[in-house]
Amino acid sequence: MFATASQTIGPFWHLIDDPAWFDLTRFGAEGERIAIEGRMTDGAAAGVTDAAIELFQTSPARSASFPGYGRTATGSDGTFRFVTIRPEPLSGPAGARGNALQAPHCGIAIFARGLLKPLFTRVYFAGEALNETDPILALIDPPSRRPTLIARQIAPARYHLDISLQGDAETVFLEF
Amino acid sequence: MMIDTTPFRALTPDTQPPYLAPEYRSTVLRSPRSAPVAIPQTITELTGPVFTAPQFPPTDNLALTDGREALGERIIVTGRVLDEDGKPVPHSMIEIWQANAAGRYAHPGDTHDAPLDPNFRGSGRVFTDQNGAYRFVTIKPGAYPWGNHHNAWRPNHIHVSLFGPGFATRLITQMYFPGDPLLDLDPIFLATPDADARNRLIAAFDIGVTEPGRALGYHFDIVLRGRHATPMEN
Ligand SMILES: [Fe+3]
């Protein structure tokens, strides 16, 4: 058997949008709250205004008070915002590369009109020493593209990540 | 909780659409120019969100809103969610959304002048059972025009969103209807190169699912990525 073909989420996916899902702490999670904000743009540098962005993290561990998953719609200017708990370092991929710790990160999936299948990427956090040795960031060549996955800190507990679907500052997307 | 660390298999080329499909115009400015970077699957990709019915309440009858029946042809859609080895994907959340019988979404962005139906909101949520089976009741969505090219119409379709066991199994797809003449003209449907893969997006009419005097039945199985048979060295 083969996996079912992906199809676009289309422009009207907001019928399943629950605006509360941007906040992964809404069930009462404990830990350091952080905000992850940003703007998504297309190949003409225009804001992507009808996308769904999903955030998934395995740290802190999922529980009844922390789903580890959030989803939000990009706004009329392409901006988005999540509130979550700051993730901890995680064990790295098994095997010959060694078991280098992964720097704190969240997985990101992007769905939109014009995307026949999701784009996957990650968000890391500026200032984390482990970013220098993260086994996934290390796979990105040239290294000059690695910062597209690292959110910059704009205020205490507030991070900003721009996502560029196409063009000079194109975000590095991941396949796994 | 036990974590299955067996990696998921790669998707089979041509059974999935590309990012850039110029006939579908919106892909032109939204598809990356650089190839994605291949990474090994770590705990972030091997595990996924888990949804429970108490926190994410199911709504399995889209044809009924506050006790009032929606307009249109009532249908039952049922099937199983399986992995590529045919193993059921149990207790997994499915989100569904669609246009009404006239081909209009209850969405402020839908400018098609077909009528809205106050008794049809067009979204639902169901969970697979222990055998991977799911079922919902709705009305058959209408075809609708879109701006992609001159005289462009989307075939009748229901949008379906699935999560499965890992972040790597996340899938959003569309269920189509048999015999729809618009399928062979639709750049979204046609973007998947492999014809068999395309045809698996078309539900089967099923007289066994059909309820006498009540609703036509359709069968639609959905397959998520399977895992490697043995843990992979990498
Ligand atoms: Fe649609």
Specify the CATH number for the domain of residue B119. 2.60.130.10
Best of A8, A27, A41, A91 to substitute, by most chain B Cβ atoms within 10 angstroms, is A8
What residues of B are in contact with residue A67 (Cβ under 8 Å)?
Answer: 49-51, 55
Q: From A103, which residue of chain B is nearest by alpha-carbon distance?
A: B44
**A-proximal residues of B, 163-192, CB under 8 Å:** 167-168, 170-174, 188-189, 191-192
Range name among B15-24, B49-58, B132-141, B211-220 with the lowest pLDDT average = B49-58
Element (H, E) at B188: helix B187-190
CB atoms near residue B34 (< 10 Å): 11
Question: Residue A96's pLDDT is what?
Answer: 43
Q: Is the pLDDT of residue B1 over 80?
A: no
* Residue B148 counted as domain residue: yes
Cα B225 from Cα B164, distance rounded (Å): 9
Separation of B192 CA from ligand 1 center, angstroms?
A: 17
What residues of A are in contact with residue B165 (Cβ under 8 Å)?
Answer: none
Percent of chain B with pLDDT over 90: 94
Residues B136-168: pLDDT tens digits?
Answer: 999 999 999 999 999 999 999 999 999 999 999
Strand pairing category for B157-162 and A158-164: unpaired
- Binned at pLDDT 50, 70 and 90, residue B231 comes out as low
Give the pair of three-digit tokens for residue A12: 């009207």
* Residue B6 counted as domain residue: no
Count of domains for chain B: 1
Is B27's CB within 8 Å of A116's CB?
A: yes
Q: In 3D, which of B143, B48, B158, B61 has the Cα closest to residue B104? A: B143
At a CB cut-off of 8 Å and minimum separation 6, what does A61 contact?
A: A68
Is B30's CB within 8 Å of A91's CB?
A: no
* Residue B97 counted as domain residue: yes
Across the interface, which of B39, B123, B233 has its CB nearest the CB of A15? Answer: B123
Mean pLDDT of B49-54: 93
Per-residue pLDDT of chain A (176 residues; tens, 9 = 90+): 999 999 999 999 999 999 999 999 999 999 999 999 999 999 999 999 999 999 999 999 999 999 999 999 999 999 999 999 999 999 988 764 556 899 999 999 999 999 999 999 999 999 999 999 999 999 999 999 999 999 999 999 999 999 999 999 999 999 99
What residues of A are in contact with residue B5 (Cβ under 8 Å)?
Answer: 94
Q: Which domain holds residue B162?
A: 76-224
**B-proximal residues of A, 86-105, CB under 8 Å:** 90-97, 102, 105
Question: Residue B5's pLDDT is what?
Answer: 81
* Residue B27 counted as domain residue: no
Global pTM value: 0.97
Cα A130 from Cα B33, distance rounded (Å): 29
Cα B226 from Cα A94, distance rounded (Å): 19
Percent of chain B with pLDDT over 70: 97
Which residue ranges form the domains of chain A, and what is each CATH number? 20-164 (2.60.130.10)
User: Hey, which residues of B are catalytic here?
Assistant: 105, 144, 154, 157, 159
What residues of B are in contact with residue A7 (Cβ under 8 Å)?
Answer: 17, 159, 172-174, 188-189, 201
Mean pLDDT of B193-212: 98
Mean pLDDT of B33-58: 95
On whether the CB atoms of residues B215 and B75 are closer than 8 A, the answer is: yes
On whether the CB atoms of residues B203 and B177 are closer than 8 A, the answer is: yes
* Residue B128 counted as domain residue: yes
* Residue B212 counted as domain residue: yes
Place of tokens 């901006």: A79
Q: Is the pLDDT of residue B196 over 90?
A: yes
* Residue B39 counted as domain residue: no
At residue A93, what are phi and psi to the nearest 5 degrees? -65, 145
State the average pLDDT for chain B.
96
* Residue B121 counted as domain residue: yes
Q: Is the pLDDT of residue B37 over 60?
A: yes
Question: Residue B2's pLDDT is what?
Answer: 61
- Binned at pLDDT 50, 70 and 90, residue B234 comes out as very low
